[in-house]
Amino acid sequence: MATQHRYSIGIHGGAGNRPTPPAKARLIRESLKTILEEGGARLAAGATALDTVVHCTRLLEDDPLYNAGYGSVPNSAGRFELEACVMEGRTLKAGAVTYVEYIRNPVELARQIMEQTPHVMLAGHGAGDFAATNGIATASQSYFQEGWSKYGKAENNGYGTVGAVARDCAGNLAAATSTGGQKGKRPGRVGDSPLVGAGTYADNAGCAVSCTGWGEDFIRTALAAYLDFLIAHQGLEAHTAARIAIEYLVAKINGNGGFILVDKTGSIATAQSSAYLHCGWIEHGAEPKTARHASLQIARDKR
Catalytically annotated residues: 161
Among 112, 193, 200, 270, binds ligand ASP (CB under 6 A): 193
Rounded CA-CA distance 165/201 in Å is: 9
- Closest CB to ligand ASP: residue number: 215
Cβ atoms of 221 and 252 within 8 Å: the answer is yes
Asked if 288 is part of the footprint of ligand ASP (rule: CB under 6 A), the reply reads no
**SS3 label, residue 166:** strand
Cβ atoms of 275 and 182 within 8 Å: the answer is no
Asked if 191 is part of the footprint of ligand ASP (rule: CB under 6 A), the reply reads yes
**SS3 label, residue 250:** helix
Among 52, 57, 161, 204, binds ligand ASP (CB under 6 A): 161
Give the CA distances from residue 79 to residues 26, 45, 148, 187, in Å, rounded to whole numbers and listed in that order. Answer: 29, 40, 11, 8
Asked if 10 is part of the footprint of ligand ASP (rule: CB under 6 A), the reply reads no
Asked if 106 is part of the footprint of ligand ASP (rule: CB under 6 A), the reply reads no
Rounded CA-CA distance 41/291 in Å is: 20
For ligand ASP, the closer of residues 21 and 46 by Cβ is 21
Among 192, 228, 263, 283, binds ligand ASP (CB under 6 A): 192
Rounded CA-CA distance 136/105 in Å is: 8
Q: Which of 162, 159, 168 is nearest to 51 (CA)?
A: 168
For ligand ASP, the closer of residues 169 and 242 by Cβ is 242
Asked if 57 is part of the footprint of ligand ASP (rule: CB under 6 A), the reply reads no
Cβ 237 to ligand ASP shortest distance, Å: 26
Interactions with ligand ASP, residue window 78-97 (CB under 6 A): none
Residues 6 or more apart whose CB falls under 8 angstroms from that of 267 comprise 8, 237, 238, 239, 283, 284
Determine the size of the site formed for ligand ASP (CB under 6 A).
17
| Residue 2 DSSP class | G
Among 31, 75, 172, 182, binds ligand ASP (CB under 6 A): 182
For ligand ASP, the closer of residues 48 and 182 by Cβ is 182
Contact residues for ligand ASP, defined by CB under 6 A:
14-15, 67, 159-161, 179, 181-182, 191-193, 199, 212-215
